[in-house]
Structure 1
């Protein structure tokens, strides 16, 4: 019998998107890149170094904010996980495709840090506001379902928390910029 509810959605994602050639290996690659937000911190560090070479202090600050914001969003999600304590999906019909640092599921830290990073890196790079979130967030969210390590509400909540985290970084930047 096929699972229902969120497990049913997870099952369907694994048997449609997850069945595509290369989907599981791509999902594992995204998982490793996003682990503890380290890939996003690395991208931010590279952007900062380039801005520094160009002597652009405003861009340097925004790249630092992107790295700190991605890591801060990740940290917030870990704290929320420890409060909520929702276990990861566990059903014989769901294939788990990657190891995880904990058995806690809500919210997805990958979704949280990726959303914050996409917004803040896009801002630092001068991209249109919705461009990087539209390109980067959906694949990361889908990857967590393909790998069977999160429920759909875990990734949606993670994306919302990441967007709120990025908004807080941007609001703080604007507040401090007006005080100088």
Structure 2
């Protein structure tokens, strides 16, 4: 993912990172982004919400599938991150505004698990709500200076794809048992 440092993707990553910080860095978006960061760490917030949905007793199999999708997407993101080994942004004018458990950036595991939650939880809480929360999480990672935009976009694609696969597989298994 490091590729040509003067290439189009790195130039866009740096420009969007700097623009996001310049536009939102002195607003109330920063504490919201920090809260989202803590909520999304290791997918814990999404697992907690999914577990509460499951405990509610209605549509338990679907809630279980949604949580499984979140866990699988987070794991996939961590695995890809360890293979790719792209370092986090280190721009002097865009210092990180939150600590991170690793120095690896691609893909954003927060984006993986959040996109997976969007796929899995949308039938229960609504697609527009989950789309808005996903957008906020993706922007927050860039605003906080801990991910490049390409990290969050790739994470969202991985997470959404994994969760979709988990949901389809679970539906097939349940259909085969009927």
- Structure 2 length as normaliser, TM-score? 0.89
Task: Confirm whether residue 26 of structure 1 aligns to residue 32 of structure 2.
Answer: yes
Structure 2 unaligned spans of 5+: 1-9
Q: Does 1:6 align with 2:3?
A: no
Deviation at 1:101, TM superposition (A): 0.6
- Note the C-alpha offset of 1:95: 2.0
- Map of 2:4 onto structure 1: none
- Which residue number in structure 2 is paired with residue 66 of structure 1? 66
- Which whole-Å deviations, capped at 9, do the CAs of 1:60-91 have from their partners, x for residues lacking one? 01111111211111111000000000000011
Q: Secondary structure of 1:169's partner?
A: helix
- 1:96 matched residue in structure 2: 96
State the shift of 1:8 in Å.
Answer: 1.8
Query: Is the Cα contact below 8 Å between 2:89 and 2:148 reproduced in 1?
Result: yes
2:44 to 38, 48, 54: 38
CA RMSD of aligned residues (A): 1.5
**TM-score scaled by length of structure 1:** 0.88
Q: Tell me, in whole angstroms, the C-alpha distance in 1 between the residues paired with 2:131 and 2:75.
A: 23
Q: Contact 2:69–2:120 at 8 Å: present in 1 too?
A: yes
Aligned counterparts of 1:176 and 1:156: Cα–Cα separation in 2: 30
- The alpha-carbon deviation at position 122 of structure 1 amounts to 1.7
Q: Work out whether residues 72 and 163 of structure 2, in 8 Å CA contact, stay in contact via their aligned partners in 1.
A: no
Correspondences of 1:8-157 after superposition (within 5 Å)? 8-20=15-27, 22-51=28-57, 56=58, 59-123=59-123, 125=124, 127-128=125-126, 130-157=127-154
Unpaired runs of 5+ residues, structure 1, are: none
In 1, Cα distance between equivalents of 2:109 and 2:47: 14
Which runs of 4 or more aligned residues in structure 1 lie more than 3 Å from their structure 2 counterparts after TM superposition? Answer: none
User: What is the alpha-carbon distance in structure 2 between the residues aligned to residue 13 and residue 154 of structure 1?
Assistant: 15
**Residue of structure 2 equivalent to 1:165:** 162
- Kindly tell me the number of residue pairs found equivalent between the two proteins: 168
Q: The residue matched to 1:19 in structure 2 has which SS?
A: coil
Return the offset for 1:98: 0.5
1:99 deviation in Å?
A: 0.5
